[in-house]
Structure 1
Amino acid sequence: KEFNIRRKEQDEFAMISHNRAEKATKDGILKEEIVPVPVPPKYDRMIDEDNGIRPGQNMEALAKLKTVFDRRNGTVTAGNASQITDGAAMVLVMTEEKASELGLEPLGRIRSFSFAGLDPSRMGLGPAFATPIALDRAGVSFKDIQLFEINEAFAVQVLANLQIFESNALSKKYLDRDKSCGEINHDILNVNGGAIALGHPVGSSATRLIITLLKEMKRRDLNLGLATLCVGGGQGAAFVLERN
């Protein structure tokens, strides 16, 4: 409501997340990031792909879902919010010297990172608070970033952050910064879908974002990427990653 983001905008964002994740699954892209897990009780069957993706997701199906939080005038539904999922992720972080010693080829390097605090009731805006700090520390701007990953806790949450990124007035109001970060081209944002389609296992999402981003940067032969997410309790985190 505060950002005047309509239900239709949220549903469109959610639909794109599912459609992109569905395509990435069919193309075998996500298999590079997935470790098959045996299913109890007999452990004779493996889960080897995400099972929350809705094939053929469309606006008509999303429009049928009831709102939550504010049932009369709300806009958030189970369809345009992230799923509650079980999941885990792992990444090795070490110095360049240690990687060389072990004979490991790094996927990328952390050029900068930042964490920011904000009013817990506005925790979803964490990316808008953390991202400018990470950019400043890396000495880069949005124009230099070639690929973006923003965790999709809710479609409306991502859309609100995008508004702050794009607006000088909102950047001044919320961040006390005179100049905004700039606009993100949606063609390079969450290109293989996000948490709305893939799920948002708490405590694993940052690692998942970094792996997803670096893998896609390698496929596209890109050098600079940014991953950012909100953190429950009133925080935001952002990482500028590079490959070369």
Structure 2
Amino acid sequence: MRQAFPPDEFDAVILGCVNVIADEMNPARIASLRLGMGPAMTAFTVQINCGSGMQSIDIAFRAIETGKADLIFAGGTEALSHAPLVFRQQAVEWLGGFATAKTPWEKATAVAGFRPEMAKPVVGLERGLTDPISDLNMGQTAEVVGHLFGITREAADAYALESHQRLVRAQNNGFLAGEILPAISRHGLLYDHDDGVRQDTSMDKLAKLEPVFEKPYGNVTAGNSSQITDGACWVVLASEEAMNRHKLTPLARIVDSEWSALDPSIMGLAPTLCSTELMKRREFSREDIDLWELNEAFAAQVLACLAAWEDEQYCRGVLGLDSVFGRIERDRLNVDGGAISLGHPVGTSGNRLVLHLINAMRRLGLKRGIATECIGGGQGGAMLLEIA
């Protein structure tokens, strides 16, 4: 670690992760040991689907706020490329029957019951991205909220194109240089930027992509959805006493946070609930928020949230407002692109959103911002930050 204090000075390590692999069941503990933080360091992993990286920050924030800790290392990590392959239920049942067969006749009968399709595995991520209550995958929920608020295919593609263009601009101007570190592969290859961005994409190219989740008439495609990728992010949270003791310079202050829940089939609208409730509690209006980071799970989902905030019936009936929340201008939202162009490593994204919001506000000379995201299973998280 490249801090001005020993790594064992932390009070705890908290790491968000969704698809924990079998070889490393508590990645927070493993990370803390590999970072030389000592065997006495308490470390635990948290999981709330897409909000896991933000949850790690929130738990740390509340612990410091109540005086239970002074210095916490909070992060998020995900390696979706390592999502396991799993057996089909039919294959599991067959293996169970074969394993318990005792006599030669029972074993022969079990072998005879094997079918070739049992050998075909299922990508665990496919199951993980399907809600067992609504029986909809995340892309289908985006289709639902897009339909509810009349989000067209053209509008979703246009938003996706803008996400790529904004990320290209951010990369070319070095806006992410202090935030995203270069990676070196085992074979010595240097990767100095994320390569999910499509510099040459266009509305024509996006329009040629077929719907993925609701064929043939859906609007959600691979081009206007977040990318499946790997990633990790860490932040240091410190009390005022810890900052003085270790001579740390704060980047921002966490003001408050909020978590909300709703029907899983419309999980994409959750940012409107948690963000609005957070602002109501702090008596802030839309104009008081200088910058927004709203995770780009799907273009249709982001646009549905923006439309919901301008819908009087939704704002009065669902959000409990006296009038419409109003329009969030696009120059205040995801100014450097987002998960559509950068990727959405689910356990990491909430952490990255908070960190990037801080860096973007500092770069643009802004004071106050909200990082928010929808969460698979019908939840949402929001965090309000101010530049120190």
**Pair member with larger Rg:** 2
**TM norm structure 2:** 0.61
Question: Secondary structure of 1:32's match?
Answer: coil
Q: Is the 8 A contact 1:138 1:240 kept in 2?
A: no
Kindly provide the amino acid, as one letter, of the partner of residue 345 in structure 2: P
Q: Does 1:59 align with 2:223?
A: no
Kindly provide the amino acid, as one letter, of the partner of residue 308 in structure 2: I
Aligned twin of 1:163: 307
1:57 to 1:96, Cα distance in 2 relative to 1, 3 A: farther
**In the TM superposition, what is the alpha-carbon distance from 1:96 to its structure 2 partner?**
2.3
Moved more, 167-176 or 156-165: 167-176
Q: Is the 8 A contact 2:210 2:216 kept in 1?
A: no
Kindly provide the amino acid, as one letter, of the partner of residue 19 in structure 1: Q
- Separation in structure 1 between the aligned mates of residue 281 and residue 191 of structure 2, nearest angstrom: 40
Kindly report which structure 2 residues correspond to 1:60-75, keeping only aligned pairs within 5 A, or say none: 60-75=204-219
Q: Is the 8 A contact 1:111 1:138 kept in 2?
A: no
Aligned twin of 2:272: 128
Question: Secondary structure of 2:360's match?
Answer: helix
Aligned twin of 1:181: 325
**In the TM superposition, what is the alpha-carbon distance from 1:148 to its structure 2 partner?**
1.0
Kindly provide the amino acid, as one letter, of the partner of residue 141 in structure 1: S
Q: Which residue of the other structure, out of 8, 16, 28, is the alignment partner of 2:174?
A: 28
**In the TM superposition, what is the alpha-carbon distance from 1:177 to its structure 2 partner?**
3.7
- Separation in structure 2 between the aligned mates of residue 165 and residue 238 of structure 1, nearest angstrom: 15
Q: Does 1:86 align with 2:227?
A: no
Q: Does 1:95 align with 2:243?
A: no
- Separation in structure 1 between the aligned mates of residue 383 and residue 325 of structure 2, nearest angstrom: 15
Q: Which residue of the other structure, out of 121, 142, 146, is the alignment partner of 2:290?
A: 146
**Aligned-pair Cα RMSD in Å:** 1.3
1:137 to 1:105, Cα distance in 2 relative to 1, 3 A: farther
Aligned twin of 2:101: none
Q: Is the 8 A contact 2:164 2:337 kept in 1?
A: yes
Q: Does 1:3 align with 2:149?
A: yes
Q: Which residue of the other structure, out of 184, 188, 195, is the alignment partner of 1:38?
A: 184
1:189 to 1:35, Cα distance in 2 relative to 1, 3 A: same
Q: Does 1:116 align with 2:279?
A: no
- Separation in structure 1 between the aligned mates of residue 213 and residue 313 of structure 2, nearest angstrom: 28
- Separation in structure 2 between the aligned mates of residue 180 and residue 117 of structure 1, nearest angstrom: 21
What does the per-residue CA deviation read over 1:103-146, in whole Å, with 9 as the maximum and x for residues that have no partner?
11111011111000111111111101101111123331110111
- Separation in structure 2 between the aligned mates of residue 92 and residue 121 of structure 1, nearest angstrom: 35
1:178 to 1:197, Cα distance in 2 relative to 1, 3 A: same
Question: Secondary structure of 1:61's match?
Answer: helix
**In the TM superposition, what is the alpha-carbon distance from 1:176 to its structure 2 partner?**
4.1
Aligned twin of 1:195: 339
Kindly provide the amino acid, as one letter, of the partner of residue 268 in structure 2: G
- Separation in structure 1 between the aligned mates of residue 387 and residue 282 of structure 2, nearest angstrom: 14
1:96 to 1:180, Cα distance in 2 relative to 1, 3 A: farther
- Separation in structure 2 between the aligned mates of residue 99 and residue 180 of structure 1, nearest angstrom: 41
Q: Is the 8 A contact 1:50 1:198 kept in 2?
A: yes
Unaligned 5+ runs, structure 2? 1-146
Kindly provide the amino acid, as one letter, of the partner of residue 46 in structure 1: L
**TM norm structure 1:** 0.95
Question: Secondary structure of 1:67's match?
Answer: coil
- Separation in structure 2 between the aligned mates of residue 4 and residue 215 of structure 1, nearest angstrom: 34
Kindly provide the amino acid, as one letter, of the partner of residue 185 in structure 2: V
Kindly provide the amino acid, as one letter, of the partner of residue 182 in structure 2: P
- Separation in structure 2 between the aligned mates of residue 15 and residue 180 of structure 1, nearest angstrom: 28
Moved more, 119-128 or 8-17: 119-128
- Choose between structure 1 and 2 for higher RCO, CA contacts under 8 A separated by at least 6 residues: 1
- Separation in structure 1 between the aligned mates of residue 283 and residue 243 of structure 2, nearest angstrom: 25
- Separation in structure 2 between the aligned mates of residue 60 and residue 30 of structure 1, nearest angstrom: 28
- Separation in structure 2 between the aligned mates of residue 119 and residue 50 of structure 1, nearest angstrom: 34
Kindly provide the amino acid, as one letter, of the partner of residue 10 in structure 1: A
**In the TM superposition, what is the alpha-carbon distance from 1:181 to its structure 2 partner?**
2.4
Q: What is the percentage of aligned positions where both structures have the same residue? A: 45
- Separation in structure 2 between the aligned mates of residue 97 and residue 119 of structure 1, nearest angstrom: 42
Question: Secondary structure of 2:382's match?
Answer: strand
